[in-house]
Every structure is written in structure tokens, then in C-alpha cells.
Amino acid sequence: MTDQPTINPDEIHEFVRERYGAIARSADTATAVSCCGPSATTDVSCCGGEAGSCNTTLYDPALLEGLPVDVSGLSLGCGDPVTIAALHKGERVLDLGSGGGIDCFLASKQVGAEGYVIGVDMTPDMLTKANANKQKMGVRNVEFRQGQIEAMPVESDSMDVVMSNCVINLSPDKPAVFREAFRVLRSGGRVSISDIVTEGNFSPELRAQADKWAECVTGAIDVSVYTGFMREAGFVDIQVVDKYDADGIVPIQAGMPRIFSARITARKV
Ligand SMILES: C[S@@+](CC[C@H](N)C(=O)[O-])C[C@H]1O[C@@H](n2cnc3c(N)ncnc32)[C@H](O)[C@@H]1O
């Protein structure tokens, strides 16, 4: 099966944790406040940008106004899942793979004091960074939890919206992520995802490259398989809202299938 990892899932988690831990730590240094600055252990590009650049161009600049550079400078996504989520005051939002927290902080403004936002991430250094950002901003309706998105530390039927920005492609068990997203959503809840997807499959040899997987490339799967996993989990009204070439967002090589950054929405009945 070319849509399944050929690397051990634990190894993928470890590779991904190391990569994003290094990025979080490099964002702490005086010389590399931006997400994609050179880090001690990697010289590769971020998930979603060329080395040395950040991904704030993915958002409408008006949305980012007032965010500290520590937050906007640690944007590792491949799109803007917050805007298509069309959040309302008072909603409860879960962000899968919250990183430095950019989408959580954007959502927190939109749901207001009566709403609540939870970010889940498995990388301790990223959580440290997100919590430091939270403290700096004095935000009270955001909470960051450590955990894997394949087994979310979140109560069933408790969230109005599940969003995610460039993370599910990194998971070695995407069907489990969608089952968990379905479990934690209340009936009538919705998902809003930006992610890297493909048209076609990677060869088993490319699929086996853990470093490329951690760069949001070779863990990406065909968009129809991706939406099929969502359907199997129970989601309805699954829509690929938009989809554009990911060239310049992730490092693409010859011999790879077409790679896209897509925004995908769905609902739990
Ligand atoms: C490409 S970054 C995106 C961060 C954030 N969503 C953003 O837009 O800036 C991926 C993040 O997902 C986290 N992550 C990757 N796989 C994960 C998993 N299986 N469970 C929990 N977190 C994961 C990484 O630690 C990292 O912080």
C-alpha cells in the first residue's frame, strides 16, 4: 500500500519531534527569531517555506495585526485554516499540532472570552514556546496540551471546531487522526484543515525517507485517499475548498507526484 508508511510509526514521530523541537529552540535564539532561521541541527526548510522565510504570507495581513513577532515569526503552516473555519463567539476550538500557537491565538480573538481554544502538540520544546507566547500575550482562553493527535488528550463530544495547519500529513496513522477528530467533536461540529496532499503516490523509496516526511513532503497522501479516510471516520460534506501547487511551500524533487496545499472542510452530523 503506497498510502501507508514504510517506516516504523514510532520512528516517524521521533523524527518529527526532533525536527520541530530544533525549530522551536532555534526560534529562541537571538539570531533566529524567525521560524525558518538556521537551527543547530537542521538546515532544511520549514514545513511551508523556504529556509530563511516564514509563512505569514499565508494569512491576510489584517489578521496578523497585533500579534507579537514571536508568534507570527513561528508560523509553520501551509495555509490559513482559521478563516475558513468561520468561527463564532463562544465556540470551543481544538488545533491539532499547534506549534508556536499562531492559529490558536488567531482563533482566541475570534471566539472571544466566552470561547476556548486548545492546542495539542507532541513536541515539548514547541509547547514551551507556545506557553511563553501565551504568557507574553496575556491570553486566558487558550490552553496547550502535550499529546499525539492519533490519541488526543481531549474529552469526547466537547469541541465545536477541530482545525489543523500542515500537521496531518506528518502523521503515520491518518485514519486514527480523523477518528479522533470525529470523537472529540460535538454533533454538528466541523473541521477546517490546511494540509499538504498529493495527486498520485510517492514511490516506496521516497515514502521511506523520514527526513522528507518530517519536512511535510513524503507523508502526504493522495487527496482522494485523504478525504476517503475522513469519510470512513464518519464525516460528511467533505469539501476541498481550494488547492494550489505547494512549490515554494515544501521542498519538491523530480520524481514526486503533484503536491498541493489544500484547505479541506467537513462536518459531523
Ligand atoms: C509543520 S508544524 C505546524 C505548526 C502550526 N500548526 C503552524 O501552523 O505553525 C507541525 C507541528 O505539528 C506537531 N506534530 C506533528 N505530528 C504530530 C503528532 N502526531 N501529534 C502531535 N503533534 C504533532 C509538531 O510538533 C509541530 O509543532
Which CATH number belongs to the domain containing residue 40 in this structure?
3.40.50.150
Task: Answer whether residue 240 is part of any domain.
Answer: yes
Q: Catalogue the long-range contacts made by 52-60 (C-beta closer than 8 Å, 24 or more residues apart).
A: 55/249, 58/194, 59/83, 59/106
pLDDT at position 55:
64
Instruction: Reduce the DSSP state of residue 214 to 3 states and report it.
Output: helix
Instruction: Write out pLDDT tens, residues 78-120.
Output: 999 999 999 999 999 999 999 999 999 999 999 999 999 999 9
Q: Which one-letter amino acid corresponds to residue 190?
A: R
Task: Answer whether residue 3 is part of any domain.
Answer: no
pLDDT at position 54:
52
Q: For residues 210 and 11, what is the distance between their CA atoms, to the nearest angstrom?
A: 8
Under-70 pLDDT residues of the chain:
1-5, 29-56
Task: Answer whether residue 1 is part of any domain.
Answer: no
Centre of ligand 1 from the C-alpha of residue 62, in Å: 24
Q: Catalogue the long-range contacts made by 55-62 (C-beta closer than 8 Å, 24 or more residues apart).
A: 55/249, 58/194, 59/83, 59/106
Task: Answer whether residue 2 is part of any domain.
Answer: no
pLDDT at position 3:
58
Task: Answer whether residue 4 is part of any domain.
Answer: no
Range of the domain at 28: 9-267
Centre of ligand 1 from the C-alpha of residue 132, in Å: 17
Q: Name 231's Cβ contacts closer than 8 Å, sequence gap at least 6.
A: 238
Centre of ligand 1 from the C-alpha of residue 149, in Å: 9
Q: Which atom of ligand 1 is nearest to the CA of 74?
A: 9
Task: Answer whether residue 145 is part of any domain.
Answer: yes
Domain count, the chain: 1
Considering only CA atoms, which of 67, 63, 68, 69 is closest in space to residue 81?
63
Task: Answer whether residue 39 is part of any domain.
Answer: yes
Whole-prediction pTM: 0.92
pLDDT at position 27:
86
| CB 103 less than 6 A from any atom of ligand 1 | yes
Q: Name 133's Cβ contacts closer than 8 Å, sequence gap at least 6.
A: 68, 70, 71, 74, 100, 101, 105
pLDDT at position 51:
39
Q: Can you read off the three cell numbers belonging to residue 179?
A: 477518528
pLDDT at position 29:
60
| CB 123 less than 6 A from any atom of ligand 1 | yes
